[in-house]
Structure 1
Amino acid sequence: MPKWRARTLNSSRMDRSAEFKKWKAQCLSKADLSRKGSVDEDVIELVQLLNAREQFFTTSSCAGRILLLDGGINGLGVQKQNCCWLLVTHIPCVKDDMMVALKKANGDAVFKFEPFVLHVQCRQLQDAQMLAVRSTHGLEVPLSHKGKLMVTEEYIEFLLNIANQKMEENKKRIERFYNCLQLALERETITYSHTKIKEKNNPFCTHKKKRNPEKLRGKCIPEENDKEPENDDDSDPGINVAIFPKDY
Structure 2
Amino acid sequence: MDSFFLNLLSIMLRDIKYGIKSSWIRRKEEILSKFDESLKEGLIDDRILPTLNLINGLPHYYTVSSCSGRIIILDLPEVGDKKSAIFRGRWHRCVEKNEVLNAISECTKEGWFILNPPIIHVISDDIINAEKILSIAIKCGFKRSGIKSIKRDKITVEINSTEMIETIISKNGYVLADDYYIITLVEYANKKFCRFQQKIERLNVRLYELYTIHD
Length-normalised TM-score, structure 2: 0.77
Structure 2 gaps of 5+ residues are: 135-156
- Report the Cα distance in structure 2 between the residues aligned to 1:73 and 1:155, rounded to whole angstroms: 23
Counterpart among 142, 156, 165 of residue 191 in structure 2: 165
Contact 2:66–2:119, Cα closer than 8 Å, also in 1: yes
Look at both structures and tell me which one has the larger radius of gyration over its CA atoms. 1
Q: Which residue of the partner structure matches residue 11 of structure 1?
A: 15
Contact (CA 8 Å) 2:76, 2:85: kept in 1 or not?
A: yes
Q: Does 1:52 align with 2:52?
A: no
Measured after TM superposition, the shift of residue 118 of structure 1 is 0.2
Give me the whole-angstrom Cα distance separating, in 2, the residues matched to 1:184 and 1:24.
19
Partner amino acid for 1:38?
Answer: L
Identity of aligned residues (%): 23
| Counterparts of 2:176 and 2:129, CA distance in 1 | 46
Measure the CA separation in 1 of the matches of 2:53 and 2:81: 31
- Residues 1-248 of structure 1 aligned to structure 2 (within 5 Å): 2-30=6-34, 31-32=37-38, 37-74=42-79, 78-129=80-131, 130=134, 131-183=157-209
In 1, are the aligned partners of 2:54 and 2:211 still within 8 Å (CA)? Answer: no
Aligned length: 184
**Alignment partner of 1:91: what SS?**
coil
Q: Which whole-Å deviations, capped at 9, do the CAs of 1:119-178 have from their partners, x for residues lacking one?
A: 111111233454110011111111012222111121111100011111111111111122
Q: Deviations over 1:90-114 (max 9, x none)?
A: 1111011111111111110000111
Q: Secondary structure at the match of 2:38?
A: coil
Aligned to 1:220: none
Shift of 1:55: 1.7
Distance 1:182 1:81 in 2: 38
- Aligned partners of 1:142, 1:153: CA distance in 2, in Å? 15
1:117 touches 1:135 (CA, 8 Å); kept in 2? Answer: yes
Q: Secondary structure of the equivalent of 1:32? A: helix
User: What amino acid maps onto 1:66 in structure 2?
Assistant: I
Structure 1 vs Structure 2 CA RMSD: 2.3
Measure, in 1, the Cα distance between the counterparts of 2:121 and 2:81. Answer: 20
Higher strand share: 2
SS at match of 2:15: helix
Aligned partners of 2:177 and 2:112: how far apart in 1?
Answer: 12
Q: What CA deviation, in whole Å up to 9, does each residue of 1:30-66 have, x standing for no partner?
A: 2439xx9433232222111111122211011111111
Report the Cα distance in structure 2 between the residues aligned to 1:101 and 1:23, rounded to whole angstroms: 40
